[in-house]
Amino acid sequence: MAKISTLTDDFNDNSLNTTLWTNDISYLIGGDESLVGTLTEVGGKLEILQVDGALALISKNDYDFQDSSIYFELSQIMTSDILFIYIINSDEQALSFLISWEGEDCLLFPLYDLNDGSGNQYAGDFITYNSTNHKFLRIRDSSSVWYWDVSSDGISWNNVDSCDHSALDPQPDFSTSKFLIYGGTDSSTPVIIDNVNPSEEEETNTTNFFQFF
Ligand SMILES: [Ca+2]
């Protein structure tokens, strides 16, 4: 099983890579095709637009999240309601960021849900969502600790919260996981993302660019 860090897309060819992505949530729950929202690559980014109040982006393939990580650029969020960014395993256990509009405020929550009937557990306190400081979001697993990280540039990261999962019994198994963005929204403003796990080669080139100039 490929590590989830190998799931990469820069969305630069303005054509959705349908071997990697779908808006068909039956990939998550099994069963018949069930499309949520629309996915369109525009201007080198991916626009996820709600239809009938909901939107979704799902990795078609399964990945191993254990001792791995996924990050991406959140270029724009919706203007109402909620958005979940999930790592979700085959037992429907999930690690997530929740972005939630609460009146005038938009909040960012680090959460996990062990699918044991207790619902979402708070990894830590919510913080006010900031589109500049939280432009990049990362969820990672390292040495039996889950981390929720944010960054303004995808290079320098700040940890929002962490959870030592070594003592959980039974131990959640994230060896077979999907990446999922799911939201309920009345907003006609699309969620726009870019740069899912940029390759190290691209990061190196970016560094060289700035060093050269
Ligand atoms: Ca791009």
Quick: pLDDT tens for 11-40.
999 999 999 999 999 988 778 889 999 999
Question: Is the pLDDT assigned to residue 207 strictly greater than 50?
Answer: no
CA of 16 to the centre of ligand 1 (A): 12
CA of 73 to the centre of ligand 1 (A): 9
Question: Is the pLDDT assigned to residue 211 strictly greater than 60?
Answer: no
140-156: average pLDDT? 97
CA of 17 to the centre of ligand 1 (A): 13
Question: Is the pLDDT assigned to residue 149 strictly greater than 80?
Answer: yes
CA of 150 to the centre of ligand 1 (A): 19
Question: Is the pLDDT assigned to residue 143 strictly greater than 50?
Answer: yes
Q: Which domain holds residue 104?
A: 4-212
Quote the percentage of the chain above a pLDDT of 70.
93
Based on the structure, what is the number of domains in the chain?
1
CA of 45 to the centre of ligand 1 (A): 5
Q: Tell me what pLDDT residue 30 has.
A: 78
Q: What backbone phi and psi angles, to 5 degrees, belong to 26? A: -65, -20
CA of 121 to the centre of ligand 1 (A): 33
Quote the percentage of the chain above a pLDDT of 90.
85
Q: What backbone phi and psi angles, to 5 degrees, belong to 131? A: -65, -20
| CATH at residue 37 | 2.60.120.200
CA of 93 to the centre of ligand 1 (A): 30
113-142: average pLDDT? 94
Q: How far is CA 6 from CA 86, 106, 199, in A?
A: 17, 31, 8
Residue closest to 85 by CA, chosen among 140, 38, 152, 133: 140
Q: What backbone phi and psi angles, to 5 degrees, belong to 9? A: -160, 135
Q: What is 120-154 written as a DSSP string?
A: -EESS--EE--TTTTSEEEEEEETTEEEEEEESSS
